[in-house]
């Protein structure tokens, strides 16, 4: 009798692991393996692995890894921006983030290509003495303010905080210090 019960359990397990399972109602316990399809309802516990598709609802807890796509709603917690430090003349490769112009004796002549709407940059003179005139020149036809295409930073801490409102125009949200604008 004990042998036939164990055999029955083994048969049930094989059938269960070789077919799709539909749960209507509440499921409690661990799921190991791939889950393909829709999950409707609350998930309490940890999800380890990749999620492909839309997540609708609230996420409480930590997200570790890359999030690709749009975030709609409130994001609470630590936010870290991408950053780039230039210590010599070169191109700004970030679309959004923090750019540090950082050399005390070499003039940095940075260039920035045309933006996409919504690109947001903080461009900061991070040079210790901040007395060398670093410049950021925009690509052809792009302006900081509708007229000027070059920004000159020559004092430690001078900052432009900008957001692209078109593919040819940034809006200056903040000009901290006195970043000079000109047309070249």
Residue 12 lies in a domain: no
pLDDT at 150: 98
Measured in whole angstroms, how far is the alpha carbon of residue 94 from the centre of its chain?
Answer: 11
Query: How many CB atoms lie under 10 A from the CB of residue 142?
Result: 18
101: domain CATH number?
Answer: 2.60.120.640
Q: What is the pLDDT along the chain (184 residues), one digit of tens a residue?
A: 556 776 666 666 665 555 556 666 666 666 666 666 666 666 777 777 777 777 777 777 777 666 666 666 677 766 678 999 999 999 999 999 999 999 989 999 999 999 999 999 999 999 987 678 999 999 999 999 999 999 999 999 999 999 999 999 999 999 999 999 999 8
Q: Say which residue the tokens 């661990």 belong to.
A: 30
pLDDT at 47: 73
Q: Report the alpha-carbon distance of residue 53 to residue 65 in Å, rounded.
A: 16
User: Which phi and psi angles does 165 have, rounded to 5°?
Assistant: -105, -15
pLDDT at 51: 73
Cβ 130 vs Cβ 108: under 8 Å: no
Annotate the chain with three-state secondary structure. CHHHHHHHHHHHHHHHHCCCCCCCCCCCCCCCCCCCCCCCCCCCCCCCCCCCCCCCCCCCCCCCCCCCCCCCCCCCCCCCCCEEEECCCEECCCCCEEEEECCCCCCCEEEECCCCCCCEEEEEECCCCCCCCEEEEECCCCECCCCCCEEEECCCCCEEEEEEEECCEEEEEEEECCCEEECC
User: What is the domain range of residue 127?
Assistant: 83-182
What's the CA angle centered on 58, arms 53 and 64, to 5 degrees? 65
Residue 35 lies in a domain: no
Residue 106 lies in a domain: yes
Residue 19 lies in a domain: no
The whole-model pTM stands at 0.64
Residue 52 lies in a domain: no
Residue 95 lies in a domain: yes
Total number of domains in the chain: 1
Residue 67 lies in a domain: no
């Amino acid at each position: 009798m004990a042998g036939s019960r164990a055999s029955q359990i083994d048969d049930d397990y094989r059938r269960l692991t070789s077919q799709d399972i539909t749960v209507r109602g509440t499921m409690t316990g661990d799921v190991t393996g791939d889950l393909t399809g829709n999950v409707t309802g609350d998930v309490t516990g940890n999800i380890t692995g990749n999620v492909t598709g839309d997540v609708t609802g609230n996420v409480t807890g930590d997200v570790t890894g890359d999030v690709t796509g749009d975030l709609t709603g409130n994001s609470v917690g630590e936010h870290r921006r991408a950053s780039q430090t230039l210590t010599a003349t070169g191109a700004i490769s970030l679309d959004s983030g923090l750019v540090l112009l950082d050399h005390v004796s070499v003039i940095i002549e940075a260039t920035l290509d045309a933006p996409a709407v919504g690109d947001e940059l903080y461009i900061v003179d991070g040079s210790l003495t901040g007395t060398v005139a670093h410049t950021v020149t925009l690509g052809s036809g792009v302006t900081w303010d509708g007229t000027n295409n070059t920004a000159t930073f020559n004092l430690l801490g001078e900052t432009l905080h900008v957001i692209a409102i078109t593919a040819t125009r940034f809006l200056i949200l903040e000009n901290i210090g006195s970043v000079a604008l000109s047309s070249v």
